[in-house]
Structures are given as structure tokens and as C-alpha cells.
């Protein structure tokens, strides 16, 4: 893990919040933004990483005493964190859906399996891998739905998404990616790299099953 001093100013947690919004930060970056600094011999990102691994990663159940056992976390940092966790418990009325596997994605897009036209969907995610929004970007023909990076990423930028997942259906029933599917996947991945929005996967769905472009080697 890089130390905070090795990161460009714009990529440090607090500067990143101002530039991209809080949704773009990972859990480690969010913790680092809260505690502000590390201690002698332990950089703030190292301390934040230890905190996110404590209690099997279940941050909101960490107590003041639990935090005090972590190297680099004193009374002040422990108070800041338990106060932040308690505030989130009091005011968050629902838990955002987190995407960790393909099984988490498919229920969101099951409705397009039977469509007679291709539907291209973009799912935007925050830095914690939680769903921000799901949108149909285009509706096309029987076997082709033309998409352009400009339209695909416009809402992702508005969402201040950290990453995206694309899904489209094949009304023909075949799971084999077409030449256009492969080309647009690579184009979108390249555009995402430029924008700082990672393309996690592009999934093709039919009534018979689904195919991951990432698993097939079309995404790095």
C-alpha cells in the first residue's frame, strides 16, 4: 500500500472528496479522511487499513475499546470513529446493495432477459462497491444496441461513481459475444480509465444463462 506522502495531492482522501465526492472513496480512504493522520512509524493509510480489517471488517460494530487496541489509534481517533459509526447507524434507514459477485448483479437486470430488443444497462457503484443507480442507456435492434462512451459515462460522472458494470441482453439467445460487443467493451474500458471510473465487467444475458466478458478475458 502506498503511503499518503507518495500520493499526488489530488488523490489524497480529503482532496479526493472535494474533487470527486465521498462516494468515490474506498473504506480505507474514508477512514483515513476521518482520522486525518497517522502516528510515528505508521502512515495514516496503514492505520486506516488496520481499522478496516478489524472485527472481520464489520466496522460499525467496533467499540471504543476495540479501536484502542489497534496500533496507531489513540483516544482521539477512537472517539472520532465511534462517533461517525453511531451517526451512520442513527440516520441510515436502509442498507445499500453491495455487489461482490455476479449473483448480486443478475437480480437487478433479470427483466431484460425476455426482451425482443437489445437493452444496454449501466450499473454505477460507489467506492465501497455499493449500487448507486441502474439505468437503461440504450434500446436497440434485435441483435445490436449502439452505444457511445459519451452517453454511457454521462450519468456515471454525475453519480460520481468509482466503478461501473455493464449488462446487455441477446434476444437471439446466443451467449457468444459479437465483434461489436468486444469492440465496445474495450472502448468503454479505455474511456473509463481516462475518466477514472473502472469498468468491472460487461455481462451478456439471455433466457438460458449469462456470460462475463471479464471472465472471457476481454477486460483486464
Residues 66-75: pLDDT tens digits?
A: 999 999 999 9
- Mean pLDDT for the stretch of residues 39-62: 88
Mean pLDDT confidence for 155-167: 94
Q: Region 152-180: what's the mean pLDDT?
A: 93
How high is the pLDDT of residue 75?
95
pLDDT over 80 (residue 144) = no
pLDDT at 93 over 50: no
Backbone angles phi, psi at 66, to 5 degrees: -60, -45
Average pLDDT, the chain: 88
DSSP 47-72: HHHHHHHGGGG-GGG--HHHHHTSTT
Q: Indicate whether 156 pLDDT > 90.
A: yes
pLDDT at 140: 78
- Least confident window among 7-11, 57-61, 166-170: 57-61
Exposed, middle or buried, 31 (CB in 10 Å: 0-12/13-18/19+)? Answer: buried
- Other CB atoms within a 10 A radius of the CB of residue 101 amount to 7
Contact, 121 vs 112, CB < 8 A? yes
Amino acid at each position: 500500500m502506498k503511503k499518503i506522502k507518495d500520493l499526488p495531492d489530488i488523490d489524497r482522501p480529503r482532496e479526493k472528496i472535494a474533487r470527486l465526492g465521498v462516494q468515490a472513496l474506498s473504506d480505507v480512504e474514508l477512514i483515513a479522511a476521518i482520522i486525518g493522520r497517522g502516528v510515528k512509524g505508521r502512515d495514516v493509510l496503514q492505520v486506516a487499513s488496520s481499522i478496516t480489517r478489524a472485527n472481520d471488517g464489520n466496522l460499525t460494530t467496533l467499540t471504543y475499546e476495540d479501536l484502542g487496541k489497534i496500533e496507531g489509534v489513540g483516544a482521539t481517533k477512537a472517539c472520532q470513529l465511534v462517533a461517525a459509526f453511531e451517526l451512520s447507524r442513527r440516520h441510515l434507514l436502509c442498507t445499500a446493495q453491495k455487489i461482490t459477485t455476479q449473483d448480486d448483479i443478475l437480480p437487478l437486470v433479470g427483466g431484460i432477459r425476455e426482451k425482443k430488443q437489445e437493452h444496454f444497462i449501466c450499473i454505477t457503484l460507489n467506492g465501497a462497491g455499493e449500487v448507486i443507480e441502474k439505468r437503461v442507456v440504450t434500446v436497440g435492434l434485435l441483435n445490436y444496441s449502439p452505444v457511445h462512451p459519451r452517453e454511457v459515462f454521462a450519468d456515471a460522472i454525475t453519480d460520481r461513481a468509482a466503478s461501473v458494470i455493464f449488462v446487455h441482453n441477446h434476444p437471439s439467445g446466443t451467449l457468444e459475444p459479437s465483434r461489436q460487443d468486444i469492440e465496445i467493451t474495450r472502448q468503454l474500458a479505455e474511456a473509463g480509465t481516462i475518466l477514472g471510473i473502472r469498468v468491472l465487467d460487461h455481462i451478456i444475458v439471455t433466457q438460458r444463462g449469462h456470460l462475463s466478458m471479464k471472465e472471457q478475458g476481454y477486460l483486464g
